[in-house]
Amino acid sequence: MEYKKEQKTAPLRNQNNVKAYRILDIKDNHLYFQLWLNSDEQGKVKASMPEEYQVGEYIDLQVIRNSRTSYQIHLLGKTPVAFIPADGRNIAI
């Protein structure tokens, strides 16, 4: 699997607001994940090939909050092994 440039190093991940999110569920071509650190609110992102993903895996997302109720989500792909949290958190900080 080819990783995108912004996924490869910690400084680039931080600069581009890329975080690893654990997949909580997969339904109807959508991947569900915990949206915010201190919330049970779930987000979803459409995947063109959801069969490539499994519940419990980590995906890299850019979640950009536009306002209090609006945000943009960009799926970058699977998280590189180096950035998967060892303690099993739902969101890697």
70 residue type, one letter? S
Cα-based angle 18, 25, 92 (whole degrees, multiple of 5): 30
Asked whether residue 86 is domain-assigned, the answer is: no
- pTM score, whole prediction: 0.87
Full pLDDT tens readout for the chain, 93 residues: 678 877 888 898 888 889 999 999 999 999 999 988 788 889 899 998 999 999 999 999 998 888 888 888 999 999 999 999 888 889 887
| Bridge partners (DSSP) listed for residue 71 | 65
Asked whether residue 15 is domain-assigned, the answer is: yes
Asked whether residue 53 is domain-assigned, the answer is: yes
Q: Could you identify the residue written with the tokens 């590189």?
A: 80
Asked whether residue 89 is domain-assigned, the answer is: no
Q: How many domains does the chain have?
A: 1
Residue-range definition of the domain harbouring residue 63:
5-80
Q: Could you identify the residue written with the tokens 């339904």?
A: 27
Asked whether residue 92 is domain-assigned, the answer is: no
- What CATH number is associated with residue 46? 2.40.50
